[in-house]
Amino acid sequence: MTEPADTPPIDHAFTGDRRGPAQDPTYAGALSFMRRRYSKDVSGCDLVIWGVPFDLAVSNRPGTRFGPQALRRASAIFDGDAQYPSRIDPFERLSAVDYGDCLLPRGDLQGCARAIEHEAAGILASGAHLVTLGGDHFITLPLLRAHVALHGRLALVQFDAHQDTWDDGVGAISHGSFVLEAVREGLIDTERSIQIGLRTVAPRDCGIEVLDAYGAHELGVAGTVARIRERVGAGPAYLTFDIDALDPAFAPGTGTPVAGGLSSAQALGMVWGVRDLDFRGMDIVEVSPPYDHADATAIAGSAIVQHYIQGLALRKAA
């Protein structure tokens, strides 16, 4: 009887290195983000991806606690190949792990905020770049606190249907007021910040430039990219992408969908167009799988993160 030829093991999330491609079948294996190895050891990492499964701050439909799982599942299609549009394997240049998820103290909302900030700060202290899979949009506030403690005040580049500047009271746990809270705390450099894709009206803009959805459609991808670049400039920035920036036709699986948004192609082109800005971190939020269809929302969200990671790899090589 002929012995089977040696074949590489699947489950790259457990067996693989921090660098290089995975060879798992798309339909099988452990579902880390883009098949990165699961590890709590972040020493020497260029990139750490983790999940914050939180949805206790939503004002409409819940379900984003399942967002990290769905984004990991949708990302499996990217493993093992050169990536579009960079045509490189970003993990040949980036040492990366999937850190797993943040453990949140159930029933203690302020404790959840502290847990997110504390664990993010620990990861950032290693020198790694942090990409966060949400979770509702409240999580960006403790994430900004952790990033700003290390990097100083940051420009905010926010893709969203909503401004998130409602006043729910100082210290509120709300996904609709995190921007106002961040401005109050001095985390955001408002003169260099911009919100893209808005199609709702909030009571204040906090000095942040607004490019609403109609404006972005009129400018197109190239014009929107130019507007973002002009606003942010060369200084450090943070990217937060609320999946409801996309039209519900492309992202039905979200808590507060609003018609008239960006297409997935437009959004990806915009994220790709600003890939060389000095981003110090990013998150993708508001993916709510219970309202998704055929993983469309999770696929779009994972592609946005994949484009961002490609940009990191190109910046590291520059």
Residues flagged as binding site for Mn(2+): 137, 160, 162, 164, 242, 244
- How many Å apart are CA 96 and CA 68, to the nearest integer? 17
Q: Which long-range contacts (CB under 8 A, 24 or more apart) does 201-206 make?
A: 202/162, 202/163, 202/164, 202/165, 202/166, 203/165, 203/166, 203/167, 204/163, 204/165, 204/167, 204/180, 205/163, 205/165, 206/165, 206/179, 206/180
Place of tokens 């090589």: 317
107 contacts: CB under 8 Å, gap ≥ 6: none
Structure tokens at 113: 């905020």
Residue 58: exposed, middle, or buried by beta-carbon count in 10 A (0-12, 13-18, 19+)? buried
Distances in Å between the Cα of 283 and the Cα atoms of 5, 124, 231, 247 are 42, 14, 20, 19
Angle between helices 296-317 and 264-273 (to 10 degrees): 10
159: nearest Cα among 70, 247, 277: 247
